[in-house]
């Protein structure tokens, strides 16, 4: 364990466990606007060991995340009115901003439903747009499309009329629903512990952190790897990401494929076995 290594982005779900390699995290919390649910651009991470928190500050303060530079410091040292850097893109973390969905309008929140017991994605997600017209456009544009690797087209429609527990009366909720059998049939069980995703067109300077940043918001990421040239140690232009849940992987692929990163346009798909090609 020599250098800093890579960090996943702060997860907004208050989940415990290892979201990075700077030490054991007891809890973390993303602070959101009470009304809109949108990230206010800062959050808190509780480490089990104070020394780990110290190391995290040293490793992460000033870190560039995509277009932002984050500030990391002891909570009690933060001054009110201090200008915080924004954590990631508006709407993340805690929900994914999907390039493919994004083009239809401003996304307020998004989430993927997960079985509480098994942790397996239920194949259903919700995206809330700022304007109803944007949601309508998204339904028109995305319904019936088949994400890469999916056996069946996805269903995209307005969410069912809210039940008694509805928290979202003000906006235009949009449901993206995968066919229930998606994970179980056709593609079968993952080839190994998770789904391996191939990412092409990374810049030579890319490192693992960019992959964590890109894929982390979509769900459980267990591994990322940037393939480098042994001689130059520069990225060869591609890498791999392993995600636990099929639907989250499929949404990540559908969203990030064609995503512009700097001057490049990413190509993202499930990994294929490159062996026998016609």
Partner DNA sequence: TGCTATT
What residues are paired with 68 via a beta bridge?
65
Q: Between residues 138 and 268, which has the closer beta carbon with respect to DNA?
A: 268
Q: Between residues 203 and 223, which has the closer beta carbon with respect to DNA?
A: 223
Q: Nearest 5 degrees, angle CA 97-CA 93-CA 261?
A: 50
Q: Between residues 61 and 272, which has the closer beta carbon with respect to DNA?
A: 272
Select from 3, 160, 230, 276 the one that contacts DNA (CB under 7 A): 230
Phi-psi region of 274 (alpha: psi -120 to 50; beta: other; left: phi over 0): alpha
Residues 31 and 159: their CA atoms lie apart, in Å, by 26
Contact 253, 270 (CB under 8 A): yes
Select from 108, 159, 196, 235 the one that contacts DNA (CB under 7 A): 196
Stretch that binds DNA, among 45-53, 67-75, 172-180, 227-235 (CB under 7 A): 227-235
Does 264 sit near DNA (CB under 7 A)? no
Q: How many residues bind DNA (CB under 7 A)?
A: 18
Contact 72, 57 (CB under 8 A): yes
Does 198 sit near DNA (CB under 7 A)? yes
Least Å distance, CB 121 to DNA, is 21
Residues 95 and 127: their CA atoms lie apart, in Å, by 9
Secondary element (H or E) of residue 237: strand 235-243
Does 126 sit near DNA (CB under 7 A)? no
Residues that bind DNA (CB under 7 A): 196, 198, 200-201, 223, 225, 227-228, 230, 237-238, 240, 242, 267, 269, 271-272, 274
């Amino acid at each position: 364990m020599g250098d800093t290594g890579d960090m996943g982005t702060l997860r907004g779900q208050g989940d415990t466990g290892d979201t990075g390699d700077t030490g054991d995290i007891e809890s973390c919390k993303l602070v959101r606007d009470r009304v809109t649910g949108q990230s206010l651009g800062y959050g808190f991470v509780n480490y089990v060991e104070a020394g780990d928190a110290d190391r995290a500050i040293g490793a992460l303060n000033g870190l560039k995340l995509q277009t932002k530079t984050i500030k990391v410091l002891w909570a009690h040292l933060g001054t009110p009115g201090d200008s915080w850097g924004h954590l990631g893109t508006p709407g993340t973390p805690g929900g994914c901003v999907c390039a493919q969905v994004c083009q239809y309008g401003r996304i307020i929140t998004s989430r993927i439903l997960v079985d509480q017991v098994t942790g397996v994605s239920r194949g259903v997600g919700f995206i809330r747009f700022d304007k109803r017209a944007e949601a309508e456009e998204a339904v028109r544009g995305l319904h019936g499309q088949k994400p890469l690797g999916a056996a069946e087209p996805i269903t995209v429609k307005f969410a069912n009329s809210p039940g008694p527990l509805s928290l979202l009366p003000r906006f235009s909720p949009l449901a993206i629903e995968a066919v229930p059998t998606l994970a179980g049939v056709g593609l079968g069980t993952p080839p190994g512990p998770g789904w391996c995703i191939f990412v092409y067109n990374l810049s030579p300077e890319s490192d693992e952190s960019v992959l964590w940043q890109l894929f982390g918001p979509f769900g459980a990421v267990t591994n990322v790897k940037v393939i480098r040239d042994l001689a130059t140690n520069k990225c060869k232009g591609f890498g791999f990401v392993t995600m636990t849940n099929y639907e989250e992987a499929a949404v990540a692929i559908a969203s990030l494929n064609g995503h512009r990163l700097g001057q490049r346009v990413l190509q993202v798909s499930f990994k294929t076995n490159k062996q026998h090609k016609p």
